[in-house]
Amino acid sequence: MAERVEEPVTEGENTIEERQIGAMWDLEQKLDQPMDEEANKLKNMYREKGLSLLMLMRLSFQSLGIVYGDLGTSPLYVFYNTFPNGISDSDDVIGALSLIIYSLFLIPLIKYVFIVCKANDNGQGGTLAIYSLLCRHAKVKLIPNQQRSDEDLTTYSRTIFPEGSFAAKTKKWLEGKHSRKRALLVIVLLGTCMMIGDGILTPAISVLSATGGIKLRSPDMSGDIVVLVSIIILIGLFSMQHYGTDKVGWLFAPIVFIWFLFIGGTGIYNICKYDTSVLKAFSPTYIYLYFKRRGRDGWISLGGILLSITGTEALYADIAYFPLLAIQLAFTFFVFPCLLLAYCGQAAYLVNHKDHFKDAFYASIPESVYWPMFIVATGAAIVGSQATISGTYSIIKQAVSHGCFPRVKIVHTSKKFLGQIYCPDINWILMLGCIAVTASFKNQSQIGNAYGTAVVFVMLVTTLLMVLIMLLVWRCHWILVLIFAVLSLVMELSYFSAVILKVNEGGWVPLIIAGVSLLVMSVWHYATVKKYEFEVHSKVSMSWILGLGPSLGLVRVPGIGLVYTELASGVPHIFSHFITNLPAIHSVVVFVCVKYLPVYTVPEEERFLVKRIGPKTFRMFRCVARYGYKDLHRKDDDFETKLLNNIFSFIRIETMMEPGSNSSTYSSAYSVNHTQESRDALIHNNNNNNHLNSINENSNNNMDMFSSIVDCTVSSLDTIVPVGSPLNAVSFSQNNTVEEEEEDELEYLKTCKESGVVHIMGNTVVKARNGSWLPKKIAIDYVYAFLAKICRENSVILHVPHETLLNVGQVFYV
């Protein structure tokens, strides 16, 4: 490495230069301070309400229609997919039943309901919820936009590791290399993409299997009629989604309740009528005998057995819709016993009617209740589809908040339960996918192979992430973690080895769906990270802005300018680009940073952090609005009003807390006699930044710095300074000068508000750099450009009126 050579300087010159550098550093530290103290004032203001026993029972009942529909409809097709070529020995039925019993017991009941579901992010489930937990306990997020002040949120729960502990070593290893963080994100996205595949395959196989009962009673009916009926039902199902989960849940819950009673009662009837000896399948010995007798065919049949536990991942993703305790009660005391009775009853029938393996479910139904059962089965199949549809909505919403999916419209369908949502765009994509799969295959066996492949992939991803959760979040002993990992992987890898042999028989479908989804997510996330890095590296130092003087070297026009940025410190590039081309800005400038944190929600009382930038004469503020992924796209028509009200409250509290302070003293900290020179340097810096396309990782060390002079923040005036408090009483004893000063500034801001509020947003176009390799050009110039064109704008999400929007265009090359 070349040695750095510097010209010798005299002692006097060196002293002057050191003083100048030191003064600049001190000024920059004063201007960019973290909001730790402000955030800490807001902590512990939020408490979630508990649930009454009556509400818990109601939600347990309602969860049947949303969470357990998919798992409950598995008896429609499990035995047919386990024995697609027929049953040669009655003992094979007993062995398969034994596998089903222990699969249900070990995976849905023990692993998911009582272990995995506890790894929820304050009620939010799914692979991305686990990723959010990991992001709070280790620095594994690829977009480093978190600050120390975010950790003071009431909902930002995390564990501190003792130095030298196994958890601390695991955390250090995970944070050690950027490639490990990327690998973790790829694993998470792979599980998410397979879950999206579930949302397409579940309705197809459930509805097609249910409507197959028509053909059993009318053998001459064409299979195309069954497919057509299935498609009509699917269109009706997806058309109902906009009514919301709350209304749909109350409509579907009674259907599923009756369904479980029917299959449980039919199971008891068949056991008593045909063969009570099938209950010996509760002995695991028959699993060993089954594999010994059937060999390779028995191993391949695990792909059919796997379908008995499909819907388990949807169960985990759907816990956002209901309390965990309600879900546990419903499964343990109602769903699980009814499923066991249903499978035992079918097995008892098949032992005596081995030739009915293709239609075991409908053939085993007593003649007197056949048509009522058919109607309920069709309704239950529709409900079963609802579980994965709702789960898909949840994971898409989480993916958007993590910057891993294009911004889509998300509608909150319930004022009472915030987790109940509807995604119109995703809904119609799922519907078209379901129709395509149903019309193409026309065979539940091939759809079952595809379904099993998707399910086992998601389970493997969940197991890998659970290992990290147990180490970093729960801080379990490594031996317990090892036992959990070994038992889970042995079962799931066994299923995986069986379904992978059926890739050419329909198993390729979820791989294609996951591949397309992963491409979309990867490209979007890559461009999002690069845009953030560009903003960080091209931001303008706040000291330059203050060096311009109160007028900023510009024409200050009446009104309030809200400058949106992803940065929580410094001046964004779009601002310098704007004033370079149009040397005028509003009388009041507010830099607004909207942040999505890896938490499920940010309470309203802790959402806004406000600070003043520079002396009061500058009329500049910074506001950070923080959201969790549960808050994403929540209807917030009055965002502008809330933001400005928080600034007004901030000014009142600032005056009361520091009645004798005058921020104008800071104006002498940096010479304002070089206004034009400073502005020229700012413009020069802006032009140079247009060529920056990369960022040094060391620059991330200062990410947690917020621009500020005044050490005061506000959430709402009534929360921090309640009426009747000592602080409020002190405010009435202030001298007239302070009161007049406060009223003058508030009146000035109100006048500016009446003059007009303009929302200034960046419209960045991302393009591949000349000379980039072909795949990168395709990904950026075509895939990302298309996604950016069809996704929702930030202005739409924040409900910014179109007539007050001002876009600042810029091109960024990666």
- Summarize the confidence of residues 256-275 as an average pLDDT: 93
- pLDDT number for residue 594: 87
> Tens digits of per-residue pLDDT, 435-493?
999 988 877 777 888 888 888 999 999 999 999 999 998 888 889 999 999 999 999 99
**CA-CA distance, 415 to 669, in Å (whole number)?**
50
**CA-CA distance, 557 to 16, in Å (whole number)?**
39
Contact yes or no for 419/273 (Cβ under 8 A): no
- pLDDT number for residue 417: 58
Highest mean pLDDT among 389-393, 451-455, 550-554, 662-666: 451-455
Q: Which of 45-49, 292-296, 783-787 has the lowest mean pLDDT?
A: 45-49
Q: Which two tokens stand for residue 595?
A: 């942040």
Top pLDDT among 773 and 599 is at 773
Phi, psi of 557 (to 5 degrees): -100, 155
For the domain 61-156+169-528, what is the CATH superfamily, name and number?
A: Amino acid/polyamine transporter I (1.20.1740.10)
Task: Provide the percentage of residues in the chain whose pLDDT is more than 70.
Answer: 80
Contact yes or no for 769/580 (Cβ under 8 A): no
Q: At what angle do helices 223-239 and 178-211 cross, to 10 degrees?
A: 120
Q: What is the dihedral of CA 64, 69, 74, 76, to 10 degrees?
A: 110
Domains of the chain, residue spans: 61-156+169-528, 540-654+746-813
Q: Which run of H or E residues covers position 590?
A: strand 584-596
**CA-CA distance, 56 to 295, in Å (whole number)?**
47
Give, in order, the Cα–Cα distances in Å from 506 to each of 9, 214, 443, 459, 655. 76, 24, 10, 19, 69
- pLDDT number for residue 742: 59
Do the strands 584-596 and 608-613 form a parallel or antiparallel pair, or are they unpaired? unpaired
DSSP for 16-59, written as a single string:
HHHHHHHHHHHHHHHHB---HHHHHHHTT---PPP--HHHHHHH
Residues near 671 by Cβ (< 8 Å), separated by ≥ 6? 547
**CA-CA distance, 570 to 706, in Å (whole number)?**
8
Q: Which two tokens stand for residue 601?
A: 């929600």
Q: How sure is the predictor about 634, in pLDDT bands with cuts at 50, 70 and 90?
A: low
**CA-CA distance, 541 to 431, in Å (whole number)?**
50
**Beta-carbon count within 10 A of 215 CB:** 16
Q: How sure is the predictor about 188, in pLDDT bands with cuts at 50, 70 and 90?
A: very high
- Summarize the confidence of residues 711-737 as an average pLDDT: 37
- pLDDT number for residue 725: 37
Q: Which of 170-174, 402-406, 567-571, 705-709 has the lowest mean pLDDT?
A: 705-709
Q: What is the dihedral of CA 36, 40, 42, 48, to 10 degrees?
A: 120
- Summarize the confidence of residues 646-664 as an average pLDDT: 70
Top pLDDT among 603 and 232 is at 232
- pLDDT number for residue 497: 92
**Is residue 669 classed as helix, strand or coil in its secondary structure?**
coil
**CA-CA distance, 316 to 212, in Å (whole number)?**
29
Degrees, nearest 5: CA angle 10-14-20 = 150
Q: How sure is the predictor about 42, in pLDDT bands with cuts at 50, 70 and 90?
A: very low
Question: What one-character DSSP code corresponds to residue 540?
Answer: B
**CA-CA distance, 611 to 741, in Å (whole number)?**
18
> Tens digits of per-residue pLDDT, 764-810?
888 998 888 898 999 999 999 999 888 888 777 777 888 888 888 88
With 0-12 CB in 10 A as exposed, 13-18 as middle and 19+ as buried, what is 12? exposed
- Summarize the confidence of residues 218-228 as an average pLDDT: 80
Top pLDDT among 199 and 414 is at 199
> Tens digits of per-residue pLDDT, 300-314?
999 999 999 988 887
- pLDDT number for residue 260: 94
